[in-house]
Amino acid sequence: MDKKRILVTGGAGFIGSNTCESLLNDGHQVVCLDNFITGRRENLDDFASNENFRLIVGDIRNLNDCKEAVKDIDLVLHLAALGSVPRSIADPITTNDINITGTLNMFVAARDANISRFVYAASSSTYGDSESLPKVENVIGKPLSPYAITKYVGELYADVFKRAYDLNCIGLRYFNVFGRRQDPNGAYAAVIPKFAAKLIAHEQPIINGDGSYSRDFTYIENVIQINKLALFTDNEKALNEVYNVAYGESSTLNELYFSMRENLAYFDSDISLLEPVYGPFRDGDIPHSLASISKAKELLNYNPQFSLKSGLKETLNWYWENVVPAK
């Protein structure tokens, strides 16, 4: 494969930093654009000194930053966003500014720089109030949060930029991604790192609702795989489409919790005694989520290798070694 110059926006984030590292390991040149609102400098530590890596500290809300970042770039992987459904409910304006205005800036910058392919992070939140399972790409409901609106608008812009400017795009609807470098701290931390930090600290995690809600949890290595497939596929039919990114299996929050407890009890048997605390259901949450990944398998040759079980084992080993200062 020819070596490419690839811009990763949000490259200091959880998904971004893992993808940057993999692309660098493959010999590509990688430029990371990040403003460190949610990204972390320590996520770059393992490869910041790589001669093929360049960091631009900038903000996608600033069009000039976007234009600077796409100079001499072949491919764009646009991951920069303000995540979290509850955060968007608390602050819809900032979520809109980053996820819609910022994304539009990136589309414009990519168009003006004649970028050959623009791969962008969409979201499973786009399925909204649709109750059909498994989720298939062409059946969506009404959005249930400002975040969901912003991610769907990105898909609409991608479609328009192909039609109006012939910018080739691929959208990736990520489902509940987890793995190393996912931040367990802060009010809007995702469920797996949050549970892990609580359990290791011998604290009882809070489960929103009765634990019956289910999700299609997707290990980071599966996501890295499809990010690269989307960037490099030579299948013309795969372009200008959106794809579910998941493992294709669903687990309840209760199943997740007890699996995590069992894994961590291997390191500390006292953890096996910790029971969860059940709290209220969370605003904007859908009850169940399960992805069909048939489209990605067919058009991108996506073949996820890590189930929740195998991904959790890797992830919790990492948290045990890296996240908790005193054991």
The active-site residue out of 120, 127, 147, 243 is: 147
Handedness of CA 157, 163, 165, 170 (dihedral sign): positive
Alpha carbon distances (Å) from 54 to 11, 20, 50, 81, 308: 10, 10, 8, 20, 33
Burial 35-47 (b: 16+ CB within 10 A, else e): beebbbeebbeeb
C-alpha span between 323 and 192 (Å, rounded)? 13
Q: Are 304 and 293 in contact (CB under 8 A)?
A: yes
Indicate the length of the chain as a whole number: 327
147 a catalytic residue: yes
Beta bridge partners of 169: 118
Q: Are 195 and 137 in contact (CB under 8 A)?
A: no
Catalytic amino acids? Answer: 147
